[in-house]
Structure 1
Amino acid sequence: MMIKIREALVYAAISRAYELVDYNVQTNLNKRHEFRKKTIINDKTLTEDEKRVAINKLNKDYDHFTILFNNGEGRICEDCYNECLAKSYCENCLRNYLITKFSDWSSGNIDIDNLLQKCQMESCAPDMIVEWIPFNKLENIIYLTKGGFSEIYTADWTDGCYNEWDPIKKELKKFGVQEVILKKLEIAESDDRNWFEEVCKKFFFLKKKYLLVSCLDF
């Protein structure tokens, strides 16, 4: 039987849980996380299944922020035996897995490869990993519009992004077919370096804002 989850209601409850935190009382990440979970558990507008979905989202957020800010209760990973902060996965295992995949992809540009590899080595969560998307992994490419020095398209990414760590297989799982936005740049060869430096600046700015940037082979 398919369980119906009212996503809008779940995200509204999560937002309330964040808003109700008193930073003078819940003085660290762990206390704030526990308070948010209790808020969800006591939320009478949600079904039990919706509460589980909401708490799972809170747990993912908690893992992400403990690693991002290097602030949380550490543990020893039962697989790699290194200390880690995340509870639902090990950030060391995640990054080591990504290293084993470096030889499976290349943009054809050493600077871009180095940037993406550096970003992957700083990944905080399974669903926030910067990836190279080969053009042959894109289908149903549709032109949208043109503006400035670029053309905008939509497409289906056949594999989709990484989104979850599989603790049994010890590997990252893919999302599956996923719609993406493509930007085709019209730049002269002499502008390549300026473009690349701008991408680097924007990526590291956005990374601080906890957003994901993907570079596309297009």
Structure 2
Amino acid sequence: MSTIRKELVHAAITKSHALIDYNIHNDIHKRHEFRKQTILSDNSLTKDEKTEAIRLLNKDYDRNKILYNEGERRICENCNQECLATLYCEYCIRNYLKSNFSNWTSGNHDIDNLIQKCQMETLMPNMVVEWIPYNDLKDIKYLTKGGFSEIYTAIWVDGGYEEWDSKEQKLERVRGQCAILKELKNVENANQKWFEEVKSHLTISNKWADIIQCYGLTRNISNGNYMLVMMETDMDLRKYLQQNHNQLTWKEKINITFEIVRALYFIHKEDAIHRDLHSGNILYSQFNDHWFISDLGFCGPANKSSKNIYGNLPYIAPEVIIGKKYTFKSDIYSIAMLMWEISFGQPPFINYEHDHNFAMNIVNGIRPRIVLGTPVEYKNLMEQCWDADPSKRPTLV
């Protein structure tokens, strides 16, 4: 087998998605077939690369069939259930996970119940939420401090599940997996709302491929704080632009914007609001050549009110600054600021003091100056997204 250029494979998969015409390809089956034919007709890929791309598309297709409850069912040879997936049986995976409930515990009934519920909604082998024993995490190193949490890197010794072995009827793991640990502060009085928010994060991130995957939860044995165990990426959008902006074409800038907007679409589709979109939590994976949204649901402490302001001031919508609730349209305003940052290469209002006067300037209509040479369609969409009137901003769902 020839060497597979994974970056080209993932680029071709992304391109096949971007070319979908939802008026024509109006169900998951038509979209899958269109994407498959697009891959097969891509002359930049070798035969082996096309095979790998189709394999990845088929995994997504199985997930989508289960997610949308669409498609032809088959009788599983093992459990005799009518399953939708073809590469595995979703019921066998869930039964396998259920049979292991007695083999682990977080020590907290609510956390156990939360993870078990997530496992019973598992869509595919490599998107399983788990309780991860802290002693299974090695080489834990402090990375940085976020607004409400500390971030660490670690090696997950056992690693997450990757594939379903239909012969052995068990899930196979990826050993020695790199991971990010995000320590959750202010959760000693965690209430039901906090648990619902954790469930929202775990569920959404393990349903949609454009959200940073959360492998599960662990607990820091030194202080008792819970930690999210998450997918490792290479860098955030801010750092990426600092390093690469001068080399980016407008096609590449638009593709970055497209991937961010698509990720937000899935968040809004789940009836969730991000509340803290900025270039520090838009993350890039070089391996996947893909952009992800992170920090869903944890942009403020566990007891936050939806009217409290959390986040990075230049990205916060004017209506939120004056005390109105976060809405889907507040996230759209943040998208406008990200679009501008992608066009310019630096964060918006980088030379301003982020104080009360600056906040009032945003409320009164100050916006970044449009970069010379910005495509008209991009400019118009950006200005529509940062309109002072939320009702005039576009919607995603």
Return 5+ residue gaps in structure 1 as ranges.
none
The answer for the alignment partner of 1:94 in structure 2 is: 93
Alignment equivalent of 1:217, drawn from 203, 216, 219: 219
- Comparing 206-215 with 122-131, greater Cα deviation is found at 206-215
Q: Hey, what does 1:51 align to over in structure 2?
A: 50
| Letter paired with 2:219 | D
Please give the secondary structure, in 1, of the residue aligned with 2:144: strand
Distance 1:205 1:6, change over 3 A: closer
Cα distance in 2, alignment partners of residues 99 and 203 from structure 1 = 18
Looking at structure 2, the residues matched to 57 and 195 of structure 1 have their Cα atoms a distance apart, in angstroms, of: 34
Tell me the distance in 1 between the aligned counterparts of 2:117 and 2:55.
28
Q: Tell whether the 8 Å contact from 2:128 to 2:206 is kept in structure 1 after alignment.
A: no
Does the 8 Å CA contact 1:159/1:174 hold for their aligned counterparts? yes
Matches of 2:182 and 2:127, distance apart in 1? 20
**2:190 alignment partner, SS class:** helix
Counterpart-to-counterpart distance in 1, 2:208 and 2:73: 24
- 2:118 aligns with 119
**Structure 2: distance between partners of 1:12 and 1:163:** 22
Map 1:32-51; keep pairs closer than 5 Å.
32-51=31-50
CA distance in 1, matches of 2:77, 2:187: 51
1:206 and 1:55 mapped to 2: Cα distance?
23
**Greater mean deviation of Cα atoms: 159-168 or 144-153:** 144-153
Residues matched between the structures, number: 216
Bigger Rg, which one: 2
Tell me, yes or no, if the aligned pair for 2:65 and 2:71 is still in contact at 8 Å.
yes
Aligned to 1:11: 10
* Amino acid aligned to 1:192: A
Q: Give the superposition deviation at 1:217.
A: 2.5
Structure 2 gaps of 5+ residues are: 221-397
Aligned to 2:136: 137
Deviations 1:128-177 (A, max 9, x none): 11111101111101112234443221110001111111111111110111
CA distance in structure 2 between the partners assigned to 1:20 and 1:127 by the alignment = 26
Cα offset for 1:30?
1.6
Q: Distance in 2 between matches of 1:26 and 1:200?
A: 32
Larger CA deviation: 110-119 vs 129-138: 129-138
Q: What SS is found at the alignment partner of 1:192?
A: coil
Give runs of aligned pairs for residues 146-185 of structure 1, distance below 5 A.
146-185=145-184
TM-score (normalizing by structure 1): 0.90
1:207 deviates by 5.4
Structure 2 counterpart of 1:183, which letter?
K
Higher strand share: 1
> Alpha carbons of 1:49 and 1:98: their partners in 2 closer, same or farther (altered >3 Å)?
same
* Kept in 1: contact 2:138–2:156 (CA 8 A): yes
- Residues 111 and 17 of structure 1, relative CA distance in 2, 3 Å threshold: same
SS in 2 for 1:113: helix
- Percent identity, please: 54
Higher RCO (CA 8 Å, separation ≥ 6 residues)? 1
TM-score using structure 2 length: 0.51
Aligned: 1:21 with 2:20: yes
Is the 2:88–2:164 Cα contact (8 Å) retained in structure 1? yes
1:192 aligned residue: 190
Q: Deviations over 1:24-46 (max 9, x none)?
A: 33332222212211221221111
- 1:126 aligns to what SS in structure 2? coil
